[in-house]
Amino acid sequence: MLSFLPAVVGGALLGGAAGLVYLLRGRVAGIGGIFGGAIATQSVDGREGRAHRLFFLLGLLLAGFGAARVAPSALGSPSTPLLVVAIAGLLVGFGMQRGSGCTSGHGVCGLARFSTRSLVATLTFMATGFATVFVTHHLLGGPR
């Protein structure tokens, strides 16, 4: 049971961060939306919205730089070739833009607001995620 402690503490931390964004700034801390908005040519909600997204992304980067120094082993790498990483990135970017959300936007913020849309989206990407790993790990005998 103790092995789940980091999962619970980390989850509460990232959920709390998303909750703070909602309580203080009234915005959804979905990484897909924040990233998608940051790379869009036009900001849908003006300069303030753009500044919020850039500062939040900067915070994520700072956390990464810090973790790389303090706990480098916590930052793993995919076991797949770079070509597969690129394909995965394309699919993730395309999918989050089309489905208006990702693991955090739908899976955390959306579920926390009892959004049915987010529940459906979360169940859908979980299902295709399970199916994909089944194919790559068991049918194709990929990384183990």
Partner 1 sequence: MKRSLGPFVSLLSGVLFGVGLVVSGMTSPAKVQGFLDLAGAWDPSLAFVMGAAVLSCGAFSWVARRRGAPVLDASFSVSESRTIDRRLLTGAAVFGVGWGLCGVCPGPSLVSLGTTGLWPLVFVAAMAIGARAETAITLGLGSRTATPETPI
Q: Are 110 and 117 in contact (CB under 8 A)?
A: yes
Shortest spacing between CB 141 and partner 1, in angstroms: 12
Q: Does 141 bind partner 1 (CB under 8 A)?
A: no
- For CA atoms 51, 90, 83, 78, give the dihedral sign: positive
Q: Does 43 bind partner 1 (CB under 8 A)?
A: no
Residues 61-90 that bind partner 1 (CB under 8 A): 61-68, 71-72, 74-80, 82, 84-90
Shortest spacing between CB 33 and partner 1, in angstroms: 9
Shortest spacing between CB 142 and partner 1, in angstroms: 10
Residue 9 and residue 15: Cα distance in Å, rounded?
10
Residue 94 and residue 122: Cα distance in Å, rounded?
16
Q: Does 47 bind partner 1 (CB under 8 A)?
A: no
Q: Does 50 bind partner 1 (CB under 8 A)?
A: no
- Using CB atoms within 10 Å of the CB of residue 122, give its burial: 0 to 12 exposed, 13 to 18 middle, 19+ buried: buried
